[in-house]
Amino acid sequence: MATQIFTNISLLANTQGHSGFVRGDKLASLTSIKDAYIIIEDETIAEMDVMENFRFSKGNFSVPENTIVMPCWCDSHTHIVFAGSREEEFIDKIKGLSYAEIAAKGGGILNSAKILNATPEDELFNAAWKRLEEVSKLGTGAIEIKSGYGLSVEGELKMLRVIKKLKEKSRLKIKSTFLGAHTFPLEYKENHAKYIDLIIHEMLPVIEREELADYIDVFCEKGFFSAEEMKIICEAGKNHALKPKLHVNQLNSIGGIQTGISLDALSLDHLETLTENEMELLGKYKGASTLLPSAAFFLRMPLQPARTLINAGAAVTLASDYNPGSSPSGNMNFIISLACIQMKMLPEEAINAATINGACAMEIESDYGSISIGKKANLIFTKPVPSLAYLPYSFGNNLIDKVMIDGTFI
Ligand code: NIG
Ligand code: FE
């Protein structure tokens, strides 16, 4: 058995053993050990304590002074399988066009779908693999990936097969979500029922048979899928063993939250546009309220009301939404900074939201999301920093020295 011992760690951050969503006041307390050591056996965290109790004489590696060790980010909402890029729309937006106007012009998601359908599977795999490498160097150790740029039977299945291969080959923990209901392809704009039929009868059975997805997602939004359409699709998904994990209330409030809760969704994501009543509902809802601040930032929208949601008791979770249209970055360190700077989350709250709550939003909290005995050794070793708060404070700077995935430095 390979044993690794690291000593003189200034702070071992987020060492909670309990593994459900952290909510309300508790989000601000990040269980930690000051002046600590940690022992890793193979892939697993075996022991940790204060240096005072350290009894081993050899085989240990003293980390540089002022190193913080924390769990890797658990990014529970991304779209990293995509082809091409959309910086032309970025320029259009600078010039004043809105996200909805760009989508109405055949841009947006449809633009990405056109390129993706023309891209071979191995090219898609290679591009997504590079993105996984990039985000893992930035500290992401577990990630959810959605389809949704295929929008045809072959395109959606191709994307999901790429995600399946990423799952098999990558050391990162990956969860797969089917998002065939990302938008209506042009030919079904006037015939929603026909596209929904395609999803239910042509895509879902193959997805179940080939075990291509863990979850089902729908973009519930004006001009995209209504709450009623989302309900039909998710109920069909449930018959194929897929739990809902949904895009709701990004641009408009059209009943996505109420329907999502009634569907017992694992997470409700985006939440830029919320009524008072919806915030109260999220406070009582048992799944994740996943905030994607970089999408709001990139689209120049007001950021999500994190404080009100935390006060209401919601299971606030943070994710990157890495995608070519609304968040062309998967840097979770920047997400943490945005959460603290623009949404007034405390550093401890942001870290809980992006680690243990992210793990819960992917149902992998028994192995990931905190530094706890028996969990996987997925760890970020920082460069020398004076405190935990320095991480979000020093935004845009890369303060990660090393990242360990399942006991191995990448
Ligand atoms: O999560 N809002 C819907 N889907 C993505 C954006 C997709 C795109 O523009 O390509 C999101 O923001
Ligand atoms: Fe998204």
Q: What is the pTM of this model?
A: 0.97
Query: Are residues 165 and 179 both part of a single domain?
Result: yes
**In terms of residue numbers, what domain contains 273?**
74-360
Residue nearest to atom 9 of ligand 1 (CA): 325
pLDDT greater than 90 at residue 316: yes
Best residue among 80, 182, 267, 290 to mutate for probing ligand 1's pocket (most ligand atoms within 8 Å of CB) is 182
CATH number at residue 42: 2.30.40.10
Tens of pLDDT, residue by residue over 324-357, are 999 999 999 999 999 999 999 999 999 999 999 9
Query: Are residues 260 and 298 both part of a single domain?
Result: yes
Mean pLDDT, rounded, for 198-220: 98
Query: Are residues 151 and 290 both part of a single domain?
Result: yes
Q: In the β-sheet with 140-146, what is the strand arrangement from edge to edge?
A: 73-75, 140-146, 173-181, 215-220, 243-248, 267-270, 288-291, 315-318
Q: How many Å lie between the centroid of ligand 1 and the Cα of residue 206? A: 25
Q: Report the pLDDT value the prediction gives residue 275, as an integer from 0 to 100.
A: 97
pLDDT greater than 90 at residue 60: no
What b/e readout covers 201-240, taking b as 16+ CB neighbours within 10 angstroms?
eebbeebbeeebbbbbbbbbbeebbbbebbbbbbebbeeb
Query: Are residues 352 and 322 both part of a single domain?
Result: yes
Rounded to the nearest 10 degrees, how much is the dihedral formed by the CA atoms of 383, 389, 395, 397? -10
Query: Are residues 49 and 151 both part of a single domain?
Result: no
Query: Are residues 284 and 391 both part of a single domain?
Result: no
Query: Are residues 30 and 60 both part of a single domain?
Result: yes
Mean pLDDT, rounded, for 375-382: 98
Tens of pLDDT, residue by residue over 75-121, are 999 999 999 999 999 999 999 998 778 877 778 999 999 999 999 99
Query: Are residues 329 and 187 both part of a single domain?
Result: yes
Tens of pLDDT, residue by residue over 148-185, are 999 999 999 999 999 999 999 999 999 999 999 999 99
Please state, in angstroms and rounded to a whole number, the distance separating the CA atoms of residues 160 and 178.
7
**Cα-to-chain-centroid distance, residue 392:** 18
CA 221 to ligand 1: nearest atom: 2
Query: Are residues 106 and 59 both part of a single domain?
Result: no
Domain count, the chain: 2
Ligand 1 site, residue 325, Cβ cutoff 6 A: yes
Residue 364 has φ and ψ, to the nearest 5°, of -125, 20
CA 299 to ligand 1: nearest atom: 12
Query: Are residues 41 and 172 both part of a single domain?
Result: no
Residue nearest to atom 7 of ligand 1 (CA): 325
pLDDT greater than 80 at residue 18: no
Query: Are residues 232 and 352 both part of a single domain?
Result: yes
Query: Are residues 103 and 191 both part of a single domain?
Result: yes
CATH number at residue 298: 3.20.20.140
